[in-house]
Amino acid sequence: MALLELHDVTRRFGDFEAVKDVSFAVESGEFFTLLGPSGCGKTTILRMVAGFDRPDGGRILLDGRDLAATPPEKRPIHTVFQSYALFPHLSVGRNVAFPLRMAGLPEGEIRRRVGETLEQVHLAELADHYPHEISGGQKQRVALARGLVNRPRLLLLDEPLGALDLKLREEMQLELIKLQREVGVTFVFVTHAQNEALALSHRIAVMNRGRIEQLDVPSRIYGFPQNRFVADFIGNCNLLEARVVDRRDGELGLEAEGLGEIRAPATDRPGSTGVLALRPEQVRIHAGGDGENDQDNRFPGTVRDFLYVGDVTTYQVVLDNGFRLSALRANDAPGRARFFEIGDRVTVSWARQAGHYVPD
């Protein structure tokens, strides 16, 4: 049995449906992520699971039992709030001790568990500091420790890394993965940063306008987006409008708008119009008329623009028929920021096994 189940959960604010018929199940020990743009209903779902809000329709089950009649303080579910919500009048140690105190544990047991948990998040020496005396990253850890200290069945994390700078964020991502593995508590994580979701999660539910667009493991979310929204929202993607002209032995013949005939791997989903989703890193870029393989889809074009981000450079190529494509190239030669200049004649190509056709 799944640990947490949502069945057709709906939440309306007036006429506005913030969450529409959302169903998913989270397994015990899983790192599950709700990913979606701002306002898509992620926080609303978390609040309903935590008990601060009630669904207008549908059911929420924990270990198979309906939670509707259980108030938040009785649910074995804790939340790490985006603003951390640390108690300003309590020291770090007392903040972490709070849920244990509420559970009425004996003082010695509280001290032992607080010490242990602070150790786990590397904060043992800050136990006597007050929240206003510690940094944002440290507050983050206190909030995590406080949420985990009495081993809830489920920990909800609402954009917990949102307020941290990039470096600290990456550090905390690694620690989150490690911590979750160590304590074995099930995480339901909310974020609007797709790279964070891909890096952390066992499974991701991509949400848009109150609905789940796709629910899958990160590699499939990235590699096999089920619709335009997911393809577009996750990472960068070239979306080529296309029409199926023939299907044979595991391959599709597509008539791409403005490009003519291209070959792509088959999908099991029917539909004769859609888009071919092609990641920039799947597109190779060569000087002039070079090419490697006549099995590839190949098109000549001109470099129009590029974006250097350090490890890689993304080139915007305008094909001769006017279509724009981005191609990515790793800066594998030392000191090179780019291999092509604006205006260079190039050939872009991609393997016929690359790309993913998304029927409408």
Partner 1 sequence: MSRTEDRLSRWAVTAPPTLFLLAFFLVPALIVVLASFQYPGEFGGLAPLADPGDGSEHGLTLENYRFYFSDFLFTEILLRSFLVAAASTLICLVLAYPVAWLIARSPKQHRDLLVLLVILPFASNFLIRVYAWMIILGPQAGLAQAVNGLLGAFGLAPVSLLFSPFAVLVGMVYVHLPFMILPLYTNLEKHDPVLLDAAQDLGANAWQRFWRVTWPLSLPGVFSGSALVFIPVLGMFAIPDILGGTRDMLIGNLIKDQFLGVRDWPFGATLSIVLTLCVLGLAGLAAWAGKGGRHG
Give the C-alpha separation, 200 to 155, whole Å.
15
3-state secondary structure of 146: helix
Q: Are strands 238-248 and 211-216 parallel, antiparallel or unpaired?
A: unpaired
Residue 204 binds ligand ATP, judged by CB under 6 A: no
> In which element (H, E) is residue 273 found?
strand 273-278
- Which C-beta is closer to partner 1: that of 88 or that of 310? 88
Residue 87 binds ligand ATP, judged by CB under 6 A: no
Residue 42 binds ligand ATP, judged by CB under 6 A: yes
- Least distance CB 42 / ligand ATP (angstroms): 4
Binding partner of residue 72 among ligand ATP, Mg ion, partner 1, none, CB under 5 to 8 Å per kind? partner 1
- The span of 39-47, 255-263, 268-276, 321-329 binding ligand ATP (CB under 6 A) equals 39-47
Residue 44 binds ligand ATP, judged by CB under 6 A: yes
Burial of 355 (0-12, 13-18, 19+ CB in 10 A): buried
The count of other CB atoms within 10 Å of the CB of residue 74 is: 10
Q: Cβ distance 283 to 290 under 8 Å?
A: no
Q: Cβ distance 193 to 199 under 8 Å?
A: no
Binding partner of residue 44 among Mg ion, partner 1, ligand ATP, none, CB under 5 to 8 Å per kind? ligand ATP
Burial of 97 (0-12, 13-18, 19+ CB in 10 A): buried
- Which C-beta is closer to partner 1: that of 79 or that of 297? 79
Residue 194 binds ligand ATP, judged by CB under 6 A: no
> In which element (H, E) is residue 198 found?
helix 194-200
Beta bridge partners of 35: 191, 206
- Which C-beta is closer to ligand ATP: that of 36 or that of 218? 36
| Contact footprint for Mg ion (CB under 5 A) | 43
- Least distance CB 184 / partner 1 (angstroms): 20
- The span of 35-43, 118-126, 267-275, 307-315 binding ligand ATP (CB under 6 A) equals 35-43
Binding partner of residue 85 among partner 1, Mg ion, ligand ATP, none, CB under 5 to 8 Å per kind? partner 1
Give the C-alpha separation, 27 to 187, whole Å.
10
Near ligand ATP by CB under 6 A: residue from 9, 18, 118, 237: 18
Near ligand ATP by CB under 6 A: residue from 27, 29, 39, 54: 39
Here the tokens at position 182 are 């160590």
List of residues contacting ligand ATP (CB under 6 A): 13, 18, 36, 38-44, 192
